[in-house]
């Protein structure tokens, strides 16, 4: 029995303590040779770590960097050449510290006595320089690495609006945000996560707008992450979300700088990560998954309309097949007579119960969808042909399913993808199957119970201490203006406007 | 606590899955009953279940097989017993929630009385309260339910539709529903009326699919006729169509235009009107022992047909016509009341009106004696019909004759 | 477990509590005694219910809206207090059991006769426990989220049925004897207007306590008028004779909605509204009982009691009455007296407390 219970225990992922590397506490030695040995010890003979020895120079020094992360041209022009020139001019008169002053770079050169710091900096693409006779080493920021150029976001495409999307490089992303928010109170705070990956993470917020409580919560959660590797904001999301299970996404992940900037201006907090083009926005509300950036670029009436369409299609994707099952197996009286007769005619000769039929079609669709995403693009068309044949005519012709269920499943499948945030469609897919089971076991009232349970669940969720259903429960008339409907901007922005006027 | 909570939730969920699923029936496990007929045979009740054959009604390509509907017949001491027995011959489980029509044979209505029907119909959770009730005039319910109807594949649908179309002659566009009749009989102490349906004179029977191929549509059909009058639950007589209009007027049930045809004054030929926007209310006037019911009716009429010489461009003529229509309606009402008095059935709910007006007096004097009192009441129709227009032409071609 | 709620949420909770399960029951209960004048009975019941609640709230106000369990314990001491608190807890669970039974009756009589009532009983109790698990704030949030939609649905179905309404069904007005009108009012006074004293365990969690009494009474009046309107409409549409005979007349009324071919049999809509109200009511009853148990056991939360209370509710709902008529008979005849007893006991305790000047102690 206790074994059974342990199935439901929340397993905290605690990374094993790793053996501390030898260099952690070691200091930079005055003797250059010692440092060289130490470096060799740390990096081994990995070929991408370049150590350039200038041991014959009047003041011997060593440059260390990782190939591919450093701009070599600049390294030659602004570091090695000035130092060489200076060495030649001053022969043996110069002091070792002055050597560092010859480096001509715009960013700040940092120094440290800890070997640990220097190695981390080198790993991040800085150039380390050890000078004989100094008990500290220097790192010069000359990093550059191959990165994608700013392109149109793939996951969140729009018709009207900015075509820029975040990329995997943090600096580019911060610049994209900064260019949209010229407010001086925009802050970026840096954190590092992962004992192995040492991934840089950035928390962004607008000091003048942000809710300090939320900010503190985010910072404390981010700095308490305990993991050894992290590669995407999706992993980050799972590590810092609230306790308790929920199928719903807990953060708004966006690829779009304009959405992110708008969220920051509303006082939300954004978390970005090196290596991921998705930024997380928090605190999140349920309704924000139905609000696209584009809503604000179109007419307010059109946008309100599309928002309602999104809500309806979310509802449909969860419940359409369930309602069909309930109505055709329990509540025949709800169907108009003539429709009932033609549905019954379609079902003649179909061997399965409606529930199995629907399950079959839904599963088939899920398989095709997954295959369509994973398949190499040239084979993609094959999937769609097979899909059309399997899901469409032939399943009906073979007498496996009735034509009506094909329509129902395809509609619920399509409405699944209407939300501007892809994460939500995962939740609605899972919930759809639960709902179908409820409908098959208790009819319409199973569906009602399912939705009541869902509402109870949603009401219990919080995001960074704020209720997940914020504008709908604990009503603030001001926030309702931009919820299910999008009222014109000159209405919704009054509060912001007042604040802004007061400040200036 | 948290863990055991989850564990128990999952256990209960699984048990629900097992406990549920009862009471479900797939679409291909049910038989859609579209109408029910009730007849009397010796001492027993006979029911006819008309069920829909989905594949026969299918509009899908390839079409279906077999007839569009089938009628199953079984007998028993009560309706429910007959329903129980009919399960022996049904191929699937009967489902009553789409039953829209109930036809009672005249013999059953005269001898057993319709009261025996209602308890089963009401108590059943599937049958709707607003099932349309009809009485088969001069025939059994079986004969009505044994016809294939042209145009409509489902005869019950055809019957429902006919009631509305027939309002041009009966004035009643919404037939009597089962709930209404119960309310009249037991809630409002008035006698019920039910629309009748009558077979047309048949040259050949219509109970075969092949009969639908015959172009002569009159061969295989029935028509809606006037009201059947009930004394409590026993059928006692019939109204003709004009009387039915009179009844509908008094009860304010005329919703759609109906047609009146009158002979021309002083000339050969006829005039036809369509009368619409009828509104009526009844005002009981109780003086001493005499009760008069003033029936106020207003409405508009449109000229539809004229086969005699008459100058309808003259406004005075229109006023004459109005009077003519008023007289016709008045006659309808008086005839309807007359027959009700003769049969001693208060089908107009006059008793209820008296009760509404003078509840105390009703309880003291009238309630017990209403059967006798009813014969002495007077009905005073006050009718106001306005000729609205003469249609799309002003002068008639017959003026040139 | 977050228990704090705002005053607005309290108002909505009260509305749900009152209209909740009475929506389907009120017409039948009142019309059984006062026939055509059922709506006058209902009106009388609202007036009397409001008066009783005014007294109740004024007393509670003297205690600064302390939890009813603390008041009882402060006034009567530990042992007697515990006994009376158990009584309140019993009433809470008993009421929950009745509503659960009422609900499953409805499902089995009207909707899916072949199904097992246990399914529905377990489902609704599970949902209630699930919501109680998260605390009062969750109950109030769920209510706040859904109640406006429910009222909208109700209004919509009323708008669709109004063309079947016939004023003549209600005539003659005031014809029934005064006695039978009061009888009709008596039938529906306990259910729901006295039952609501269970909310005595809730007021202490309201964050803004200033105008709590006014808001509360407004909510009672508003929900009361929904019921009066429902009775009025149902009797006018179905006719008093049918209303007295149909087990769930509001539901039966909605069966008649026919707007073109497509919108037939939409009575399931009113069932949704009703089930939602029932869920909130069960949640509040269980919450009151759980809070009482927590108070007596001095435990720091009520989670240990969730499941036992749920199971007791389920068992009681099945075992108290033999069949549905026995159940309905008890509700119509003794329910008001049953709850009035508790009301009187609690009011007396509070008056004694004020006399002994124990009201300002805490």
- Which tokens is B65 given? 């097989």
pLDDT tens digits, one per residue of A176-209: 999 999 989 999 999 988 888 888 999 999 998 8
Q: What is the number of domains present in chain A?
A: 3
Q: Which residues of B249-277 are buried (b: 16+ CB within 10 A; e: fewer)?
A: bbbebbbbbbebeeebeeeeeebebbbee
What percent of chain C is modeled with pLDDT above 90? 39
The class that CATH gives domain B254-401 is alpha beta
pLDDT at A497: 44
Q: Which residues of A24-46 are buried (b: 16+ CB within 10 A; e: fewer)?
A: eebbbbeebeebbebbeebbeee
In chain A, count of helices (H) and strands (E)?
Answer: 20, 12
Nearest Cα to A255, choosing from A273, A236, A231, A242?
A273
Q: Do A472 and C145 lie within an 8 Å CB cutoff?
A: yes
- Given the candidates 3.40.640.10, 3.40.50.300, 1.20.1740.10, 3.60.21.10, the CATH classification of the domain at C14-101+142-355 is 1.20.1740.10
Range with the poorest average pLDDT among B55-69, B355-369, C82-96, C315-329: B55-69
Helix/strand/coil for B59: coil
Residue of C110, C130, C171 to mutate for B, most B C-beta atoms under 10 A: C171
On the question of pLDDT at B61 being above 80, the answer is no
Domain ranges of chain C: 14-101+142-355
Q: Work out the mean pLDDT of chain C and round it to a whole number.
A: 88
B14 touches chain C (CB under 8 A): no
pLDDT at B263: 84
Q: What are φ and ψ of residue C263, in 5° steps?
A: -100, 50
Across the interface, of A337, A443, A460, the residue whose CB is closest to C138 is: A460
Residue of C172, C237, C255 to mutate for B, most B C-beta atoms under 10 A: C172
Q: How far apart are CA A280 and CA A276, in angstroms?
A: 10
- Which tokens is A297 given? 């670029």
* Min Cα separation A284/chain B (Å): 26
Domain ranges of chain B: 27-238, 254-401
Mean pLDDT within C30-46: 90
In chain C, count of helices (H) and strands (E)?
Answer: 13, 2
- Name the residue in chain A with its Cα closest to that of C117: A442
pLDDT at C57: 92
On the question of pLDDT at A358 being above 80, the answer is yes
Across the interface, of C112, C127, C262, the residue whose CB is closest to A336 is: C262
Q: Which one is predicted more confidently, A499 or A377?
A: A377
pLDDT tens digits, one per residue of C187-205: 888 888 999 999 989 999 9
Q: How far apart are CA B279 and CA B256, in angstroms?
A: 11
Same domain, A434 and A460: yes
Nearest Cα to A72, choosing from A56, A50, A57, A55?
A50
Q: How far apart are CA A66 and CA A43, in angstroms?
A: 10
Q: Which one is predicted more confidently, B118 or B66?
A: B118
Q: Do C127 and A444 lie within an 8 Å CB cutoff?
A: no
Contacts of C311 (CB under 8 A, 6+ apart): none
Q: How far apart are CA A13 and CA A28, in angstroms?
A: 36
pLDDT at B317: 83
What percent of chain B is modeled with pLDDT above 90? 15
User: Is A403 within the bounds of a domain?
Assistant: yes
Predicted confidence band of residue A504 (pLDDT cuts 50, 70, 90): very low
Q: Do B8 and C116 lie within an 8 Å CB cutoff?
A: no
Neighbour subunits, A (≥3 Cβ pairs < 8 A): B, C
Nearest Cα to A54, choosing from A44, A64, A46, A45?
A64
Neighbour subunits, C (≥3 Cβ pairs < 8 A): A, B
Across the interface, of B26, B64, B154, the residue whose CB is closest to A345 is: B64
* Min Cα separation C211/chain A (Å): 18
- Which tokens is C217 given? 């009474």
**Spatial contact of B380 and B292, defined as CB atoms under 8 Å apart:** yes
Residue of C242, C255, C294 to mutate for B, most B C-beta atoms under 10 A: C242
Nearest Cα to B286, choosing from B191, B203, B351?
B351
pLDDT at B183: 85
Predicted confidence band of residue A500 (pLDDT cuts 50, 70, 90): very low
Between chain A and chain C, the number of residue pairs with CB atoms below 8 A apart is: 72
Query: Around Cβ B246, how many Cβ atoms within 10 Å?
Result: 29
pLDDT at A280: 93
- Which DSSP state fits A142? -
Helix/strand/coil for A282: strand
Burial group, residue B400, by CB count within 10 angstroms (0-12, 13-18, 19+): exposed
pLDDT at B13: 67
pLDDT at B215: 79
On the question of pLDDT at B201 being above 70, the answer is no
Q: How far apart are CA A73 and CA A82, in angstroms?
A: 13
Q: How far apart are CA C122 and CA B17, in angstroms?
A: 12
pLDDT tens digits, one per residue of A147-185: 888 888 888 888 888 889 999 988 899 999 999 999 899
Nearest Cα to C204, choosing from C14, C67, C69, C70?
C67
pLDDT at A445: 84
Q: Which residues of B fall within a CB distance of 8 Å from C109?
A: 125
Same domain, A310 and A441: yes
B294 sits in which H/E element: strand B290-306
Final residue of a structural domain among A249, A284, A319? A284
Residue of C141, C144, C277 to mutate for A, most A C-beta atoms under 10 A: C141
User: Angle at CA A188, nearest 5°, toward A187 and A189?
Assistant: 120
On the question of pLDDT at A340 being above 60, the answer is yes
Predicted confidence band of residue C287 (pLDDT cuts 50, 70, 90): very high
- Which tokens is A83 given? 């130092």
A55 touches chain C (CB under 8 A): no
* Min Cα separation B20/chain C (Å): 6
On the question of pLDDT at C286 being above 90, the answer is yes
If contacts are CB pairs under 8 Å, which of residues 96-125 in chain B contact chain A? Answer: 97-98, 100
C177 touches chain B (CB under 8 A): no
pLDDT at A502: 45
C111 touches chain B (CB under 8 A): yes
Q: Which residues of A fall within a CB distance of 8 Å from B25?
A: 329-330, 332
Q: Work out the mean pLDDT of chain A and round it to a whole number.
A: 83
User: Is A47 within the bounds of a domain?
Assistant: yes
Same domain, A221 and A324: no
Neighbour subunits, B (≥3 Cβ pairs < 8 A): A, C
Predicted confidence band of residue A503 (pLDDT cuts 50, 70, 90): very low
Q: Which one is predicted more confidently, A35 or C256?
A: A35
Q: Do C113 and B97 lie within an 8 Å CB cutoff?
A: no
Q: Do A459 and C123 lie within an 8 Å CB cutoff?
A: no
The answer for A410, left when phi > 0, alpha when psi is -120 to 50, beta otherwise, is alpha
* Min Cα separation B142/chain A (Å): 23
Q: Which residues of B fall within a CB distance of 8 Å from C242?
A: 179, 182-183, 187
Predicted confidence band of residue B395 (pLDDT cuts 50, 70, 90): confident
Residue of A312, A332, A445 to mutate for C, most C C-beta atoms under 10 A: A445
Nearest Cα to B71, choosing from B171, B145, B4?
B145
Query: Around Cβ A476, how many Cβ atoms within 10 Å?
Result: 11
Q: How far apart are CA C30 and CA C179, in angstroms?
A: 13
Across the interface, of A330, A336, A475, the residue whose CB is closest to C112 is: A330
pLDDT at B20: 59
Across the interface, of A329, A442, A446, the residue whose CB is closest to B25 is: A329
B153 sits in which H/E element: none
Mean pLDDT within C166-183: 84
Length, in residues, of chain C = 362
Same domain, A343 and A453: yes
Q: Which residues of A291-320 are buried (b: 16+ CB within 10 A; e: fewer)?
A: bbbbbbebebeebbebbeebeebbebbbbb
Mean pLDDT within C240-255: 84
DSSP character string of B22-51: TT---GGGEEEEEEEEEEEETTEEEEEEEE
Same domain, A338 and A270: no
Contacts of A228 (CB under 8 A, 6+ apart): A15, A18, A194, A195, A196, A197
* Min Cα separation C197/chain B (Å): 30
DSSP character string of A203-270: EEEETTT--HHHHHHHHHHHHT---S---SHHHHHHHHSPSS--SS-SSEEE--HHHHHHHHHTT-EE
pLDDT at C263: 61
The CA-atom distances, in angstroms, between B41 and each of A384, B38, B44, B373 are 65, 10, 5, 37
Q: Do A344 and B64 lie within an 8 Å CB cutoff?
A: no
A451 touches chain C (CB under 8 A): no
pLDDT tens digits, one per residue of A362-391: 888 888 888 888 878 777 777 777 777 777
A445 touches chain C (CB under 8 A): yes
Helix/strand/coil for C128: helix
Nearest Cα to C199, choosing from C106, C292, C109?
C292
Q: Which one is predicted more confidently, C285 or A136?
A: C285
Across the interface, of A8, A337, A345, the residue whose CB is closest to B98 is: A337
The CA-atom distances, in angstroms, between B383 and each of B291, B294, B324, C38 are 19, 10, 11, 36
Q: Which residues of C fall within a CB distance of 8 Å from B356?
A: 168, 171-172
A467 touches chain C (CB under 8 A): yes
Range with the poorest average pLDDT among A117-121, B389-393, C272-276: B389-393
Q: How far apart are CA C30 and CA C332, in angstroms?
A: 9
Q: Work out the mean pLDDT of chain B and round it to a whole number.
A: 83
Predicted confidence band of residue B33 (pLDDT cuts 50, 70, 90): very high
Q: Note if the bond before A201 is cis, omega within 30 degrees.
A: no
Across the interface, of A330, A338, A469, the residue whose CB is closest to C141 is: A469
Q: Do A441 and B52 lie within an 8 Å CB cutoff?
A: no
Across the interface, of C127, C141, C276, the residue whose CB is closest to A453 is: C127
On the question of pLDDT at C92 being above 50, the answer is yes
Q: Which residues of C fall within a CB distance of 8 Å from A455?
A: 142, 145-146
Q: Do C268 and A331 lie within an 8 Å CB cutoff?
A: yes
Helix/strand/coil for B299: strand
C299 touches chain B (CB under 8 A): no
The CA-atom distances, in angstroms, between A333 and each of A251, B99, C122, C348 are 43, 10, 26, 53
Across the interface, of C110, C115, C240, the residue whose CB is closest to B22 is: C115
Mean pLDDT within B238-259: 88
Predicted confidence band of residue A98 (pLDDT cuts 50, 70, 90): confident
Q: Which domain holds residue A326?
A: 300-466
pLDDT at B376: 84
A284 sits in which H/E element: none
Residue written as token pair 């108009």:
A336
Across the interface, of C124, C127, C144, the residue whose CB is closest to A456 is: C127
Q: How far apart are CA C224 and CA C50, in angstroms?
A: 9
Q: How far apart are CA B61 and CA A263, in angstroms?
A: 55
What percent of chain A is modeled with pLDDT above 70? 90
């Amino acid at each position: 029995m206790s074994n059974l219970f342990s199935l439901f225990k929340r397993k905290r992922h605690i990374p094993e303590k790793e053996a501390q590397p030898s260099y952690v506490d070691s200091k930079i030695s005055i003797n250059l040779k010692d440092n060289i040995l130490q470096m060799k010890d740390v990096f081994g003979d990995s070929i991408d770590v370049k150590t350039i020895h200038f041991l014959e120079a009047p003041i011997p020094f060593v440059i260390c960097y990782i190939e591919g992360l450093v701009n070599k041209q600049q390294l030659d022009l602004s570091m090695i050449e000035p130092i060489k020139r200076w060495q030649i001019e001053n022969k043996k008169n110069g002091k070792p510290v002055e050597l560092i002053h010859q480096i001509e770079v715009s960013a700040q050169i940092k120094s440290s006595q800890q070997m640990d710091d220097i190695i981390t900096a080198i790993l991040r693409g800085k150039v380390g320089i050890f000078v004989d006779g100094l008990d500290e080493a220097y790192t010069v920021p000359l990093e550059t690495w191959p990165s994608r150029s700013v392109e149109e976001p793939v996951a969140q495409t729009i018709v009207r609006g900015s075509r820029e999307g975040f990329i995997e490089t943090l600096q580019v992303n911060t610049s994209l945000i900064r260019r949209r928010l010229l407010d001086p109170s925009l802050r970026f705070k840096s954190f590092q996560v992962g004992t192995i990956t040492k991934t840089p993470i950035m928390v962004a917020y607008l000091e003048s707008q942000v809710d300090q409580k939320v900010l503190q919560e985010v910072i404390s959660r981010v700095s308490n992450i305990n993991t050894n590797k992290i590669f995407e904001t999706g992993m980050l999301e799972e590590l810092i979300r609230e306790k308790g299970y929920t199928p719903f996404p807990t953060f708004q992940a966006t690829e779009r700088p304009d959405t992110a900037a708008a969220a920051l201006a509303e006082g939300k907090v954004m978390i970005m990560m090196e290596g991921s083009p998705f930024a997380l926005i928090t605190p999140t509300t349920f309704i924000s998954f139905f609000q696209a950036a584009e809503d604000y670029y179109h007419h307010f009436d059109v946008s309100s309309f599309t928002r309602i369409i999104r809500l309806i299609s979310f509802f449909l994707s969860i419940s359409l097949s369930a309602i069909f099952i309930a109505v055709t197996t329990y509540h025949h009286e709800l169907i108009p007579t003539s429709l009932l007769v033609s549905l019954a005619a379609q079902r003649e000769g179909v061997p399965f119960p409606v529930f199995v039929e629907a399950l079959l079609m839904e599963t088939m669709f899920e398989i095709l969808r997954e295959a369509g995403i994973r398949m190499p693009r040239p084979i993609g068309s094959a999937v769609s042909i097979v899909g059309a044949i399997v899901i469409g005519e032939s399943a009906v012709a073979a007498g496996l399913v009735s034509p009506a269920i094909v329509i129902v499943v395809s509609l619920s499948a399509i409405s699944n993808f209407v939300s501007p945030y892809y994460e939500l469609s995962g939740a609605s897919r899972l919930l759809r199957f639960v709902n179908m089971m409820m409908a098959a076991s208790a009819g319409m009232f199973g569906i009602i119970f399912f939705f009541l349970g869902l509402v109870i669940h949603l009401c219990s969720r919080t995001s960074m201490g704020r209720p997940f259903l914020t504008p709908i429960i604990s009503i603030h008339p001001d926030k309702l203006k931009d919820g299910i409907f999008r009222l014109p901007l000159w209405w919704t922005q009054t509060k912001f406007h007042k604040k802004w006027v007061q400040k200036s | 606590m948290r863990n055991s909570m989850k564990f128990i939730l999952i256990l209960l969920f699984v048990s629900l899955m097992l406990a549920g699923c009862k009471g479900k029936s797939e679409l291909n496990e049910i038989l859609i009953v579209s109408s029910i007929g009730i007849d009397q045979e010796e001492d027993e009740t006979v029911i006819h279940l008309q069920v829909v054959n989905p594949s026969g009604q299918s509009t899908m390509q390839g079409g279906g097989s077999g007839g569009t509907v089938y009628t199953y017949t079984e007998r028993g001491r009560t309706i429910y017993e007959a329903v129980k027995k009919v399960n022996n011959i049904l191929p699937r489980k009967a489902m009553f929630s789409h039953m829209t029509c109930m036809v009672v044979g005249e013999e059953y209505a005269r001898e057993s009385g319709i009261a025996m029907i209602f308890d089963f119909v009401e108590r059943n959770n599937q049958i709707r309260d607003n099932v349309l009730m009809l009485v088969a005039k001069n025939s059994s319910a079986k004969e009505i339910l044994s016809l294939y109807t042209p145009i409509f594949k489902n005869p019950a649908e055809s019957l429902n539709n006919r009631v509305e179309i027939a309002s041009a002659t009966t004035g009643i566009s919404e037939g009597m529903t089962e709930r209404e009749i119960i309310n009249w009989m037991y809630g409002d102490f008035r006698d019920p009326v039910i629309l009748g349906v009558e077979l047309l004179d048949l040259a050949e029977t219509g109970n075969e699919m092949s009969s639908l191929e015959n172009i002569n549509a009159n061969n295989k059909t029935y028509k809606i006729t006037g009201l059947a009058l009930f004394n409590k639950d026993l059928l006692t007589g019939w109204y003709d169509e004009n009387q039915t209009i009179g009844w509908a007027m008094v009860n304010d049930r005329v919703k759609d235009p109906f047609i009146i045809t009158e002979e021309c004054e002083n000339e050969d030929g006829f005039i036809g009107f369509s009368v619409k926007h009828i509104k009526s209310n009844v005002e009981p006037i109780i003086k001493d022992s005499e009760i008069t019911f003033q029936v106020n009716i207003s409405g508009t009429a449109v000229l539809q047909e004229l086969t005699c010489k008459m100058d309808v461009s003259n406004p005075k003529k229109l006023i004459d016509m109005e009077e003519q229509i008023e007289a016709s309606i008045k006659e309808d009402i008086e005839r309807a009341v007359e027959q009700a008095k003769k049969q001693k059935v208060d089908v107009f709910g006059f008793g209820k009106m008296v009760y509404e007006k003078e509840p105390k007096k009703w309880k003291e004097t009238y309630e017990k004696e209403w059967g006798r009192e009813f014969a002495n009441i007077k009905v005073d129709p006050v009718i106001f019909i306005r000729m609205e227009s003469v249609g799309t032409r002003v002068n008639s071609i017959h003026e040139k004759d | 477990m977050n228990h704090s709620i705002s005053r607005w949420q309290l108002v909505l909770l009260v509305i749900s509590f009152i209209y909740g399960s009475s929506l389907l029951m009120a017409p039948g209960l009142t019309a059984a005694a006062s026939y055509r004048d059922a709506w006058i009975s209902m009106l009388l019941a609202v007036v009397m219910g409001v008066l009783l609640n005014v007294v109740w709230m004024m007393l509670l106000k003297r205690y600064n809206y302390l939890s009813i369990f603390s008041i009882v314990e402060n006034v009567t001491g530990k042992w007697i207090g515990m006994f009376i608190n158990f009584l309140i807890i019993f009433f809470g669970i008993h009421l929950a059991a009745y509503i659960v039974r009422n609900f499953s009756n409805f499902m089995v009589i009207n909707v899916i006769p072949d199904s097992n009532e246990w399914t529905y009983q377990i489902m609704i109790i599970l949902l209630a426990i699930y919501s109680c698990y998260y605390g009062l704030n969750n109950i109030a949030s769920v209510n706040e989220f859904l109640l406006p939609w429910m009222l909208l649905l109700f209004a919509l179905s009323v708008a669709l049925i109004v063309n079947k309404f016939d004023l003549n069904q209600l005539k003659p007005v005031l014809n029934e004897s005064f006695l039978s009108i009061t009888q009709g009012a008596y039938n529906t006074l306990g259910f729901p207007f006295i039952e609501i004293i269970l909310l005595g365990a809730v007021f202490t969690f309201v964050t803004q306590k200033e105008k709590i009494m006014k808001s509360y009474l407004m909510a009672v009046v508003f929900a009361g008028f929904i019921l009066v309107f429902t009775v009025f409409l149902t009797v006018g549409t179905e006719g008093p004779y049918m209303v007295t005979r149909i087990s769930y007349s509001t539901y039966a009324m909605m069966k008649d909605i026919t707007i073109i071919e497509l919108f037939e049999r939409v009575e399931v809509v009113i069932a949704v509204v009703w089930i939602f109200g029932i869920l909130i009511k069960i949640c509040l009853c269980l919450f009151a009982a759980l809070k009482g148990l927590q108070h007596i056991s001095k435990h720091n939360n009520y989670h240990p009691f969730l499941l036992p209370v749920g199971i007791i509710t389920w068992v009681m709902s099945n075992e108290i009455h033999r069949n549905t008529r026995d159940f309905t008979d008890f509700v119509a005849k003794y329910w008001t007296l049953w709850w009035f007893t508790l009301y009187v006991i609690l009011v007396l305790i509070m008056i004694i407390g004020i006399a002994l000047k124990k009201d300002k102690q805490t």
